[in-house]
Amino acid sequence: MEKVWEIVDTRLIDPESKAIGQRNMKLLFELNHTMPQTEEYFSKLRELFGDNLGGNSYIAPPIQGVCFERIKIGKNVFINGNLLAMARGGIIIEDDVQIAANVQLLTNNHDPYDRAILPCSPIHIQKGAWIGACAAVLPGISIGKHAIVGAASVVTKDVPDYAVVVGNPAKVIKTLDKNKFNED
């Protein structure tokens, strides 16, 4: 994914974006106070993500974040509780991804001199990737196919396909054997 930086001035948010933000906050509150694994919960999840939630995908509550309309989730994705998705820059999560609890997907930052200015860039998590508990993925990052991000890692650079990264900042510690994956 190309690293596109969008600059957002939070003082100039248009009324339509404010309305979408209010709707998302209301839906998040309702979702986070609904019994998981019920038809009511799945209905709220579909309402929040619309057509951007792939079949057989599940997100455990609670969920926090902004701009859920800018998140695209593929099929067979599992996201454990306490996801923080700051999605103003856009997030793509491909099929068969697993994301552990307390993960932060952060597509925006703050300008150091004017904190109302948000530089935003998308995150792309490719097919079959696995992100460990408490990891943080920063703006503009791509996580490669079948890559693993170790628990509590802070991802500041793109992760190659099949790589295992750990630490702060996350560094490649090994590469998985791509021939051991059962690809269709």
Q: Which residue has the tokens 């396909």?
A: 161
Per-residue pLDDT at 183: 79
Strand positions, DSSP E, 74-177: 78-79, 83-86, 91-93, 98-99, 104-106, 117-120, 123-125, 130-131, 136-137, 142-143, 148-149, 154-155, 163-166, 171-175
- Give the three-state DSSP class for 23: helix
Question: The tokens of 99 are what?
Answer: 């994301």
Superfamily of domain 6-179: Hexapeptide repeat proteins (2.160.10.10)
Residue 24 parent element (H or E)? helix 15-32
Q: Are 68 and 102 in contact (CB under 8 A)?
A: no
Per-residue pLDDT at 182: 85
Active site residues: 110
Q: Which residues pair with 163 in a beta bridge?
A: 175
Over residues 24-82, the pLDDT tens digits come to: 999 999 999 999 999 999 999 999 999 999 999 999 999 999 999 999 999 999 999 99
pLDDT above 80 for 179: yes
Per-residue pLDDT at 1: 46
Q: Which residues pair with 66 in a beta bridge?
A: 86
Q: What is the pTM of this model?
A: 0.95
Strand positions, DSSP E, the chain: 6-9, 58-59, 63-66, 71-73, 78-79, 83-86, 91-93, 98-99, 104-106, 117-120, 123-125, 130-131, 136-137, 142-143, 148-149, 154-155, 163-166, 171-175
Per-residue pLDDT at 125: 98
Question: The tokens of 113 are what?
Answer: 């001199």
Question: The tokens of 83 are what?
Answer: 């996801």
The CA-atom distances, in angstroms, between 78 and each of 54, 57, 171 are: 11, 6, 24
